[in-house]
A = this chain, B = another copy of it.
Amino acid sequence: MAKEKPDLVYGTLDMLILKALQHEPRHGLAIADRIQQISKDILHVEQGSLYPALYRLEAQGWITAAWGVSDNNRKARYYKLTSAGRKQLAAEQEHWSRITKGIDLVLAEG
């Protein structure tokens, strides 16, 4: 389980969270779990990164939060994508694909 490098690319967490909420509302830890699972354990979201990100997104109006009860019968805060959040997600994906294209050009060495 050696980890020499970060589990995340700085600046992508917001996008990943929005994406994880695309189909259905989830609570905090479930979002982190989902990102980890879908990425086949490549990505890992620390709680200390997760919650600040959620507040950020909520403050921007991209997600809304409501208390509910988790599958394990614990109280949990469920986050839901707003329509502004969907727009934001689209914009971030666009930006991501643009920048990675630039990086790949350099790495392919023209």
Contact = CB atoms under 8 A, between A and B. Distances in A.
Report how many copies the assembly holds: 2
Interface residues of A, number: 33
Nearest to A20: B106
Nearest to A16: B106
Interface in A71-101: 93, 95-96, 98-101
A39 B102 CA distance: 5
A105 B109 CA distance: 25
B39 A103 contact: yes
Interface of A: 5-6, 8-12, 15-16, 19-20, 22-23, 35, 38-40, 42-43, 93, 95-96, 98-103, 105-107, 109-110
